[in-house]
Amino acid sequence: MKKRITSSVLLLLVLAQLASCGGESGGKDTTASDGTESTVPEETRIWRDSLPELNFEGKTFTIAIYENPDARNHVFSDEQTGDTINDAIYEATLNVSQRFNVKLEELIDESDAPGSTADTQSFFRNNVMAGDAPFHVSNTRAPNALSFYAEELVIPFDELEYIDLSQPYWASEANSMLSINGVHYTALGDMNLSAYDLTLVLLFNENLLKNYNLESPFDLVESGKWTFDKMYEMMTAVSNDLNGDGVFDENDQYGYSAYGRIVAQNFWIAGGIKTVVKDADDCYQLNLSNENAIDYITKFTEKLMGGNLCYFNDINGWYDGMPDWEIEMFKNDRVLFAGSSLRWMESLRDMNTDFGIIPYPKQDEKQENYYVRLGYWNAPIVPVTNQETEMTGALLEALNAEYSRIVRPKYFDTALKGKIARNEESARMLDLILDSRTIDVGDSLFAGTIRATITDVFTRGSTDFMSSIESNRQTNEKALADAMPQSAE
């Protein structure tokens, strides 16, 4: 049974100093009962971390989470269900709980449940400000984590004993973008499945590809020739007013379809553009006035928003997961390329037509590498109220290492490559996609300011980006400045 805290009872819990949380037995407990042996043979339990022998004497270690239909936010499992990923999580967390003699528990913040209108920052902030947060770690929304760091409510990972971010189970490239002034207020690792789920990819319909005798996107990717111009050429080839009524709608055929609010950033990040970069002091700097960036964003806006090559339905609409209309059109061979995430692909497991998985295209052939957008994640942060930082550092290190050993292979090799990918080429592409993930913090952490400076213009079908950049410059610079704690300024 999971612990849950709702916004309606939060105040009462705070006033009661949250006394019942520490000893409540209703949380998700993954510790084996006395005498229970791990199901994993001892000879296969090779720890990937360098942690010493530690015994936390049956203490409870709690991670607060919120539920999100777009990603796997749950970090622990207390029972096997037959689901590949759930059972891998169960095995990994059971191993860690037995190894360190701890109880592992989730605390679910229902004030941040799907459809809730509550302030998504109130749960963490109110508990920490009360001085006795009932959790050791909170997996919170990525932009909120940055706000809490600026408010000095967070213990940086750099100050936690046993954390070694140089280990391969930590996401080094992503974490290099998430540090500020040399401080890692959060850190992503293999335990953060949301950072895999919310990786954005491109799918192509193999029936349409064959019907129009188009080049293999797999071959184009592997030869380094998968560019926006090539994608646009293929989109143009298949766009068709199927019923001949002179009106392009959901009954016709398109080159590309996606959740409209995330289109522009998928293309600019794939094109090697970042709206925010780091300076020599590891601090964020605006990069919106870059001439190459503006030229490329203008180019793909004119191509995607002009004519009848793309179908976005309500381009400003909000959706949980891959929109139903996109799924229906892609399954029925009316869209050549469909935008998706690794998690959303699960909606296509019953699709009759085969499909391929590839990264979004490069800007041009001169671009050396492919870049894959990591659009969002649940950021683990440690509240300043945490009085058990030794246990916290050790368990975060151990859990990420054990997820790397047990859960990550099940996620990629069994669930994605074995059950969703339709061919060996897509399986190879998933390896490339994993190795090419990158973060533009202007997109993910400053969505309402820096990202909106570009996307609000794109969704209008306009190309007046420079005007938007200049009119929003002061607001965007202030947003970056506000990300720094006052004590660090």
Res 41: pLDDT = 44
Q: Looking at per-residue confidence, does 259 or 231 come out higher?
A: 231
pLDDT value at 489 more than 80? no
**C-alpha separations of 403 from 31, 135, 195, 310, 416 in Å:** 17, 21, 13, 39, 16
* pLDDT tens sequence across 313-331: 877 777 777 889 999 999 9
pLDDT tens column, 456-482:
999 999 999 999 999 999 999 999 999
Contacts of 244 (CB under 8 A, 6+ apart): none
Question: 488: pLDDT confidence band, cut at 50, 70 and 90?
Answer: low
CB 352 within 8 A of CB 422: no
Across 195-213, average pLDDT:
97
Say if residue 207's pLDDT is above 70.
yes
Domains of the chain, residue spans? 3-195+378-418, 200-373+446-488
487 pLDDT tier (thresholds 50, 70, 90): low
Angle between helices 452-459 and 291-305 (to 10 degrees): 30
Class of domain 200-373+446-488: alpha beta
Superfamily of segment(s) 3-195+378-418 = Periplasmic binding protein-like II (3.40.190.10)
Kindly tell me if the per-residue pLDDT of 272 is higher than 50. yes
Q: What is d(CA 370, CA 168) in angstroms, rounded to the nearest whole number? A: 21
pLDDT of residue 71: 81
Q: Are 336 and 256 in contact (CB under 8 A)?
A: yes
Which is more confident, 164 or 307?
Answer: 164
What confidence tens digit (pLDDT) does each residue in 127-145 have?
999 998 999 999 999 999 9
Domains 3-195+378-418 and 200-373+446-488 share a fold: yes
The reported pLDDT for the residue numbered 261 is: 86
Whether 16 shows a pLDDT value over 50: the answer reads no
Which amino acid is it at 462? S
What is the DSSP track for 73-128? -----SS--S-HHHHHHHHHHHHHHHHHTEEEEEEEEGGGSTT--S-TTHHHHHHH
pLDDT at residue 39 in the model: 44
Strand partners, 338: 203, 257
Q: How many Å apart are CA 194 and CA 196, to the nearest integer?
A: 5
Residues of 91-124 as b/e, b for ≥16 C-beta within 10 angstroms? bbbbbbbbbbebbbbbbbbbbbeeeeebebbebb
Q: What's the pLDDT tens digit per position in 381-418?
A: 999 999 999 999 999 999 999 999 999 999 999 999 98
Query: What is the pLDDT confidence band of residue 28, given thresholds at 50, 70 and 90?
Result: very low
Question: Which pLDDT belongs to residue 334?
Answer: 97
